[in-house]
Amino acid sequence: MAIALTNGRVLLDDGFRTDTVVIVDKGRISALVGRDDVPIGMERRDLGNALLVPGFIDTQVNGGGGVLFNETPTAAGIEAIGKAHRPFGTTGFMPTLISDDLETVQRCIAAVDSAIAANVPGVLGIHIEGPFLNVERKGIHAADHIRRADPRDLAILKTAGRGKRMVTLAPERITPEALQDLAKAGLLVCAGHTNASYEIMREALDRGLRGVTHLFNAMSPLGSREPGVVGAVLDDDQAWCGIIVDGVHVSPVVLGIALRARPRNRFMLVTDAMPTVGAATKSFSLQGRTINVQGGVCVDDAGTLAGSDLDMAGAVRNAVAMLGLDLAEAVRMASLYPAEFLGLGNELGRIAPGYRASLVAADDDLQVLETWIDGIDSRAEAEAAYA
């Protein structure tokens, strides 16, 4: 049944509008009309002057709700992760596998295929982070899982499946020809946990590398004589940059410099979220190591950063408070730009006719009040579950 979302401050391409009603029908936005043009008899939902923005899309979600994707590679596990992130405005996400053995990679790919086939809300594909990384920049990834890709690995990555498939790797740990082959097969290949030189990165970008998974973290820095991975990306206006805006992974000053150096529409907010997001318990086990949240930050016993306890609504708030972005642009970094990165910019990330009705209603402090995924609102799902 069609429904009219009324009395909201709606984010359109030209900014927030108070005179627009969003009509949702059959999972999509069927029309944008004036307040006086809602069809007689149509069901209405009064948003009470709340902000209405496109749903957030997170391309790096390791876990949530006490569930780590590596440890629970099932459709049910993915559903639990999605439910944990939805109250924070995430209506689309890529379950992310931290470096592991080949069998776990295969199980995780199969789990995402099953989740999409079962219409688990919000699942857009899979992000395989590693194991083809540089051990010198491993971060929290287990060194005994890190290795070079062999033909069998590459064949598994290229196997056709449901949804989008993103791979984070170190360009110096794969041949340029193999990287190009992955890109031509439709994979979204990004650099991360890499010590590549500018020259290696430049060739990788020319061969189809899309950008970097978390700019500045776990990669060769911008130096006076060696531009490194950071320099290569800042020098390329088309490369995509995931950024973790929690005030810890990267200094807000450094992120501000990056935002001034290149087009903003190639930056996207990511959380790198761990199982603690949406969970009461703020510790978990990662491949035999205990990870605790200390001061809002996930670390192991040695103090190594281990993903984050960040959610997408928090990332948007931080982008406004720490980076000085206006709210509309911060929201685009969490919705439109990741949708475009994934090749879904014609159906997600905007409030426009024909787009999927994945939406977030929030108050002035960007505390999420309600979400819709393909037209199904969170209140209805909660009521159905309770019944």
DSSP string, 251-316: -HHHHHHHHHHS-GGGEEE---B-TTTT-S--EEEETTEEEEEETTEEE-TT--B-SBS--HHHHH
Q: At residue 384, does pLDDT exceed 70?
A: no
- pTM, to two decimals: 0.96
* 156 and 273 fall within a common domain: yes
* 262 and 365 fall within a common domain: no
Alpha helices for the chain (secondary structure H): 75-85, 102-117, 151-158, 176-184, 198-206, 228-234, 252-261, 312-323, 327-334, 336-341, 378-386
* 96 and 199 fall within a common domain: yes
Buried b (16+ CB within 10 A) or exposed e, 285-294: ebbeeebebe
DSSP code at position 171: G
Strands of the sheet containing 90-98, edge to edge, are 56-61, 90-98, 125-129, 164-169, 188-191, 211-212, 240-243, 267-269
Helix (H, G, I), strand (E, B) or coil at 370: strand
Q: Which single residue is written with the structure tokens 């995402």? A: 112
- Expressed in angstroms, the distance from the first to the final Cα of the chain is 20
Segment 299-325 mean pLDDT: 96
Range of 34's domain? Answer: 3-53+350-386
* 237 and 273 fall within a common domain: yes
* 255 and 362 fall within a common domain: no
Q: At residue 364, does pLDDT exceed 90?
A: yes
Q: What is the pLDDT of residues 79-138, one digit of tens each?
A: 999 999 999 999 999 999 999 999 999 999 999 999 999 999 999 999 999 999 999 999
CATH classification of the domain holding 331: 3.20.20.140
* 274 and 377 fall within a common domain: no
Catalytic (active-site) positions: 272
Q: What is the pLDDT of residues 194-253, one digit of tens each?
A: 999 999 999 999 999 999 999 999 999 999 999 999 999 999 999 999 999 999 999 999
For residue 140, say whether it is annotated as part of any ligand binding site: yes
State the total domains in the chain.
2
* Average per-residue pLDDT for the chain: 95
For residue 379, say whether it is annotated as part of any ligand binding site: no
* 176 and 212 fall within a common domain: yes
Segment 305-318 mean pLDDT: 97
* 150 and 272 fall within a common domain: yes
For residue 218, say whether it is annotated as part of any ligand binding site: yes
For residue 133, say whether it is annotated as part of any ligand binding site: no
Cα 301 from Cα 275, distance rounded (Å): 17
With the C-alpha atoms ordered 155, 194, 292, 241, is the resulting torsion angle positive or negative?
negative
Looking at residue 379, what is its pLDDT?
A: 73
What band does 146 get if pLDDT is binned at 50, 70 and 90? Answer: very high
* 124 and 250 fall within a common domain: yes
* 114 and 158 fall within a common domain: yes
Alpha helices for 29-164 (secondary structure H): 75-85, 102-117, 151-158
CATH classification of the domain holding 39: 2.30.40.10
Q: How would you classify the pairing of strands 164-169 and 188-191?
A: parallel
What band does 386 get if pLDDT is binned at 50, 70 and 90? Answer: very low
* 43 and 60 fall within a common domain: no
For residue 306, say whether it is annotated as part of any ligand binding site: yes
What number of CA atoms fall less than 13 Å from residue 87's CA on the CB side? 11
Looking at residue 380, what is its pLDDT?
A: 67
* 233 and 375 fall within a common domain: no
